[in-house]
Amino acid sequence: MHTLFLKLVFLMTTDLSRHLAAFLSAYLPGERGISGNTINSYRDTFILLLIYYSDVMKIPAEKLTLNMIKAETITGFLDWLESERRSCAATRNVRLAAIHSFFRYLQYHYPQSLDEWQRILSIPVKKTAKPVVNYLTVDGIKLLLKGPDQSTKSGRRDLALLSLMYNSGCRVQEIIDLIPSMVRMDPPCTVKLIGKGNKARIVPMLDEQVKFLKKYMKENNLLEPYANMYPLFCNNRHEKLTRAGVNYILNKYADIARSKNPVIIPEKLSCHCIRHSMAMHLLQSGVNLVYIRDLLGHSSIQVTEIYARVDSKQKREAIAKAYEDVMPQEEPSWMKNDGLLEWLKSFNR
């Protein structure tokens, strides 16, 4: 779809088409080193923008030029996303980020309209509520991983998939993009994950995880050299799993676990929840935030600190430890005064 979109943009033969094609096909991957997933997200933003101009502004894509794009129409497009497409504020901000990136590019490649580009760049992001970090307890993870039927081929795949997601704390796209050559089965066993911005990180695997994964890979001939570039996890048609496919697998076993113990399995469970669970369990075990940051592939320690803010148990323990030496050991004498309450009631009357 990415190639088809670029061909369509080139066929439009306007100044917008030329700059947009160069931005997506040359500037982002070549000069900025932006990942394919991010480029696809930017592409989708401009597809929606072209739809908005066509449906709402009544300007077909092949006639749309740069001088027709104004800050007011970009604001109208963002409002349209929320009102007509039911996009949340966070999605609106993602679309705006893509637009901002394009017009920062135009500042240097089409400076004739620099004033208008800067007006578009001044459109602010919308404030959003801080996301709640949902995570499973250790018992919740154990119950979830008991779901796959290990007597079936699909069950063994699902167990290998879910246990690797938890063990590595990977993002859903990272698990989808895995290939056998990124898995090291010789001690120390590790998996190589490619995260945001094509940044790679090496994550160690636990012995139990390796056992499930090795069994699955051997059964599917994924340990053979010729399979090095195959997708690590496939569907029944031997195609690479999609986000929807991974979410389907997760929710299938979440339903099974919830039927056994609804208290520890929330109604809504996402792949990112498994990632959060791994991070919280490491933190609760005393692992330093710096190591958790590196395992998760966060850009800074500030991002990882969200887990410390969420962990109320750790907060209580820290407060108790800080104050245990200064708290009085005996009940103060004034608390033993039976007449104190009556005195307070009559005070200053």
Distance (Å, whole) CA 276 – CA 26: 35
Based on the residue annotation, tell me whether 19 is a catalytic residue of this protein. Answer: no
Task: Considering the candidates 19, 258, 275, 276, report the single residue annotated as catalytic.
Answer: 275
Distance (Å, whole) CA 223 – CA 232: 10
Based on the residue annotation, tell me whether 275 is a catalytic residue of this protein. Answer: yes
Torsion angle of alpha carbons 190, 191, 196, 198, nearest 10°?
Answer: 100
Contacts within 8 Å (CB) and 24+ apart, 112-120: 113/66, 113/67, 116/69, 116/70, 116/71, 119/70, 119/71, 120/69, 120/70, 120/71, 120/74
Based on the residue annotation, tell me whether 298 is a catalytic residue of this protein. Answer: yes
Based on the residue annotation, tell me whether 276 is a catalytic residue of this protein. Answer: no
Residue closest to 206 by CA, chosen among 248, 264, 165, 148: 165
For residues 86 and 48, the answer to whether their CB atoms sit within 8 Å is: no
Task: Considering the candidates 119, 196, 201, 215, report the single residue annotated as catalytic.
Answer: 196
Based on the residue annotation, tell me whether 272 is a catalytic residue of this protein. Answer: yes
Based on the residue annotation, tell me whether 7 is a catalytic residue of this protein. Answer: no
Task: Considering the candidates 43, 157, 171, 276, report the single residue annotated as catalytic.
Answer: 171
Torsion angle of alpha carbons 78, 79, 85, 87, nearest 10°?
Answer: 70
What separation in angstroms does the CA of 255 have from each of 44, 139, 165?
32, 15, 18
Could you give the residue ranges of the DSSP H alpha helices within 84-227? 89-109, 114-121, 138-145, 153-168, 172-176, 207-219
Active-site amino acid positions: 171, 196, 272, 275, 298, 307
